[in-house]
Amino acid sequence: MKKTLSVLLVAIMLFSVQVSALATDFDFGQLFSSIYNNSSSMMPKNITLPQEFSITYEYIEDGKIREVTMERDARDNYHYKDSEDEYLFVKDGRGYKIAVATLSGFVYKNNNKYDFNHIKKLTEKFWKCATPLDDDITMGTTTAEGNGKVCGRKTNKFKVELGMGYSFGGYSVSMSDATYYDFDAETDICLASSSSETVSVIGMSSGDNDNGFECTRFEIKNVTIPSVK
């Protein structure tokens, strides 16, 4: 939805430039009131991480297919890997020691211990997929779309629609956006998301589809992760 909000602001600016030259009583209040905002509590926001898991997402970045993986073993150690970084987070008391991947294996970055909030900062690409509602403004009308299946897992499907339109003196601006989510029925982890949007400004229209991301691996038993050298 963040991209949608940016597009919306650009549309408003372009539209206001055109109509303000023709009328002095252009009402921004009426324009903004045409946006419907019904943020819903229907969609899950608090996930339950399995005791063990290995989850991989596939997404497109800069025109290339990318992957991000997060794993946890039975001893509460984590392994993370994306297109740029790879870490081990080794449980040590109440915190975690961080090991980084090298050509000769994993080595500890230092002797410090970190809490889980620090780990989440280093692994944000994973959490943006697993918990997309934590980092987004959910505007629009939410509807339940029944059940689906992603990566062999039963999902609860939702659609969030946002739309607005305004016309004045023969000029018009409109925008519509739909974002789709699949949440794992057992854990509430988001397994897939995609969106499409259409913007029309004074007769000129453009559309965009965002493939978002999709889970390609979801294992919750017998997870084995690398170890520190």
Q: Give the pLDDT of residue 20.
A: 46
C-alpha–C-alpha distance, residues 39 and 169, integer Å? 32
Name the residue type at position 146.
G
Per domain, the residue ranges of the chain are 2-43+132-211, 53-129
pLDDT tens digits along 104-128: 999 999 999 999 999 999 999 999 9
Lowest mean pLDDT among 53-57, 93-97, 132-136, 192-196: 132-136
pLDDT interval class at 161 (50, 70, 90): confident
Tens digits of residue pLDDT in 76-102: 999 999 999 999 999 999 999 999 999
Q: Per-residue pLDDT for 25 more than 90? A: no
* pTM, two decimal places: 0.78
Residue 46 gets which letter from DSSP?
Answer: S
174, containing H or E segment: strand 171-184
